[in-house]
Amino acid sequence: MPPAAKPLRAPQVDEELEPASADAVEHDARLRGVLLAGADLADRHASGVSIAASRLEDVDLAGATLDELSLTDVVLERCNLANMRARRAHVRAAALTGARMTGAALTEADIADVTIRGCRLDLASFAAARLERVAFEDCLMTQADFLEASLRSVHFHGCDLSKLDLRGARLVQCELRDCRLDGMEGVERLRGSAMPWADILGAAGLWASALGIDVLDREDGED
């Protein structure tokens, strides 16, 4: 039996933070203990940005390119991360709530102790990323992908995972609960994950399709 997973660590952020403007987010910026509220960072290009012990509220990062972004002990609320590119991002102890992440790409990212709740992640990509102790709760994740990603102690609760792509992914001690799985690719990569029995039965058609099993309809008159 594998060892029990460590509990997810919540972000540590002080109540009193220094207000910061969008201009503070530039190449190799080091921000700590700041509040970014309502900042317009759409299409911003800035590599090597580091943000720690801070809050981001209603920040617009749509279309931004933030390669090697580092987030540690950060809370993000209602931020727009649609089509953001953050290759090789390093995220530790973060909480995202109500974010729009449609088409966001966190490829080759290193993500641990993160809660993502009530977010839209359709078409998002975590290809070749490493996720450990991550919780996706009540998220829309249709056509998102974890191609060749490593997932350890990742929980999906109440998420729409329709057409999720797990091809080449490696899952260890992961859990899926009350999720929609229609059209998922790479279903065999769920081997070793845990699901409630009712959810397993509800996805019988998906398992049959993955195994190449044809379904026989009951003939008229057959008991």
pLDDT digits 0-9 by tens, 156-183: 999 999 999 999 999 999 999 999 999 9
Domain chopping of the chain, boundaries: 19-211
Mean predicted lDDT score pLDDT of the chain: 93
Which CATH number applies to 19-211? 2.160.20.80
Confidence of residue 132 (pLDDT cuts 50, 70, 90): very high
- Above 80 in pLDDT, residue 2? no
Distance CA 179, CA 190 (A): 13
Residue 222 has pLDDT above 60, yes or no: no
Cα atoms in the 13 Å half-sphere on the side-chain side of 21:
1
pLDDT at residue number 210 = 74
CA distance between the termini of the chain: 43
| pLDDT confidence of residue 1 | 44
Which amino acid is residue 43, in one-letter code? Answer: D
Confidence tier at 219 by pLDDT (50, 70, 90):
low
Q: One-letter amino acid identity for 1?
A: M
- 190-203 per-position pLDDT tens digit: 988 999 998 888 88
Q: Tens digits of per-residue pLDDT, 17-48?
A: 999 999 999 999 999 999 999 999 999 999 99
Report whether pLDDT(5) > 70. Answer: no
Lowest mean pLDDT among 67-71, 101-105, 192-196, 217-221: 217-221
Q: Pick the more confident residue, 177 or 209.
A: 177
Name 77's Cβ contacts closer than 8 Å, sequence gap at least 6: 55, 56, 57, 58, 96, 97, 98, 99
Q: Give the mean model confidence (pLDDT) for residues 87-107.
A: 98
Q: For 205-223, what is the mean pLDDT?
A: 69
Under 8 Å between Cβ of 143 and 165: yes
pLDDT grade, residue 207 (50/70/90)? confident
pLDDT at 218: 62
Residue 33 corresponds to which tokens in the numbers above? 């203990």
What is the value of pTM for the model shown?
0.90
